[in-house]
Amino acid sequence: MTDQLVDSELPSTEELPRRRSLAVRILAVVAGFSMVVYFAHALMGPLFLPGIEQEQLEELATLPPAIILDPVVRAAALHVDGAIDEALEVLSWDRRDDLSFDDIAPEYQRDLLDPTMRTWYDGVVDKIRAVEPAVFPYDEWGLSLFLGDPNPIWSVYADHPELDYSFIGIPPDGSQDIQIFYSLPSDNDLWAREAYPDLDAVRGEVVGFLAVADRIISRMPEDLSTYDKYRYLAYVLSLLTDYAYYALNDDGSFNGEFPVTGTAYGALMNREAVCAGYSFAYLVLCRLAGLWCNTVVGDVFFDDPQQHQWNIVQLDSGTFFVDVTWSDGSGYIGDDEWMYYFMMDQETILFDHRPDDVEATGSAESLLR
């Protein structure tokens, strides 16, 4: 039976203006808050705003895109929510709540730097996130930045592959000062990647990318086992991205004409990538989710070896290989063919991959029900 609304449940005519006024005030506050967040996005990037930004994203994660006020977050939701919804549905069919919930935190090269270089590292990461220029006099910083062990410049990009729209080096004009240069993350022109003058355009693409990554992380259920967190991220990436066959030569090698296909931006934003793009995107998502992950390089197709890139992750029972590229090309998320290349132990990986100088320490038996 349909519930009937009785007269006593209706507001009085005197109460209606007060309710309308209250509603208008609430809407104004919400809209104002949205604009604050929007400009904060533009200046700092959504992943790195303190407290209130993260709280808002957690709340927005439960809302459909049509009622999200922040245009950056709404665009990210429209871009990725279909893949997230599908991934969550498939994951719900076969959750692994029997496995550990003890996440292994990422390891960072920053922790190996001395205090002076750690301070430099932190300042540079902040600059790159904000897409701001910076100059470091060679006489003061040159030897430390180029000859340090571990190398601080390499450490920045090893820890933060999502910052690959920038590079740190000496400009081609003959100046000896070390500078940060920026490129459009979506740019396919190798030469254009040496410098791009419109920093606002770079910021716009960076903000969009970070918002998409943030949306994926914010919608990951908190009650997943570590295994299922890795699986959720791999599912979303697999659904979102197609393999960029046009970026290969006839012999299967990378042709270099479309470098964006080898980046996390290419995988998450353009939705097309080669193995490096899949691998870097998975690394970025895992690290933003607080999960241990690294990239692995090696050979595949042993009769005619081709270089390939994938990932290694860590559970409490050891490390395992994850190849989202080959999972994506083998079947639909969650089916046996797709799962074959997810959480591979050392014995399994050696059937068709030859990793360089790294071994998986976990065993397939530890993942059995």
Burial of 56 (0-12, 13-18, 19+ CB in 10 A): buried
329 with 244, same domain: the answer is: yes
Query: What local confidence, expressed as pLDDT, does residue 187 receive?
Result: 79
Query: What local confidence, expressed as pLDDT, does residue 191 receive?
Result: 46
**DSSP-assigned letter for residue 14:** T
115 with 177, same domain: the answer is: yes
208 with 271, same domain: the answer is: yes
Contacts of 41 (CB under 8 A, 6+ apart): 49, 70, 72, 73, 207, 211
165 with 247, same domain: the answer is: no
169 with 141, same domain: the answer is: yes
CATH number of the domain within which 241 lies:
3.10.620
Instruction: Provide the domain limits for residue 20.
Output: 15-80
Query: What local confidence, expressed as pLDDT, does residue 172 receive?
Result: 72
Query: What local confidence, expressed as pLDDT, does residue 146 receive?
Result: 80
Considering the domain boundaries, does residue 70 fall inside one? yes
Are 315 and 226 in contact by the 8 Å Cβ rule? The answer is: yes
234 with 330, same domain: the answer is: yes
Q: Which of 65, 80, 95 is where one domain is finished?
A: 80
Q: Which CA distances in Å does 368 have to 96, 199, 226, 363, 365? A: 10, 50, 15, 10, 5
User: Hey, what's the torsion of the CAs at 340, 341, 347, 353, to 10 degrees?
Assistant: 130
Give pLDDT < 50 ranges for the chain: 1-53, 190-193
Considering the domain boundaries, does residue 318 fall inside one? yes
Considering the domain boundaries, does residue 276 fall inside one? yes
User: Hey, what's the torsion of the CAs at 138, 143, 144, 150, to 10 degrees?
Assistant: 140
Considering the domain boundaries, does residue 8 fall inside one? no
Backbone angles phi, psi at 355, to 5 degrees: -70, 145
138 with 175, same domain: the answer is: yes
Q: Which of 141, 172, 202 is where one domain is finished?
A: 202
Query: What local confidence, expressed as pLDDT, does residue 24 receive?
Result: 37
299 with 289, same domain: the answer is: yes
Q: Which of 202, 219, 253 is where one domain is finished?
A: 202
Considering the domain boundaries, does residue 166 fall inside one? yes
240 with 341, same domain: the answer is: yes
Alpha helices in 14-70 (DSSP H): 15-44, 52-60
Helix (H) or strand (E) holding 326: helix 324-330
Query: What local confidence, expressed as pLDDT, does residue 167 receive?
Result: 86
67 with 157, same domain: the answer is: no
Query: What local confidence, expressed as pLDDT, does residue 243 receive?
Result: 94
Instruction: Say how far apart CA 360 and CA 315 lie, in whole Å.
Output: 11
Helix (H) or strand (E) holding 320: strand 318-322
Q: Specify the pTM.
A: 0.80
Pair of tokens at residue 287: 């690290």
195 with 154, same domain: the answer is: yes
Considering the domain boundaries, does residue 3 fall inside one? no
Per DSSP, the chain holds a count of helices (H) and strands (E) of 13, 10
Pair of tokens at residue 275: 């193995």
33 with 161, same domain: the answer is: no
Considering the domain boundaries, does residue 4 fall inside one? no
Number of folded domains in the chain? 3
Query: What local confidence, expressed as pLDDT, does residue 29 receive?
Result: 37
Are 247 and 241 in contact by the 8 Å Cβ rule? The answer is: no
Considering the domain boundaries, does residue 303 fall inside one? yes
Query: What local confidence, expressed as pLDDT, does residue 55 receive?
Result: 57
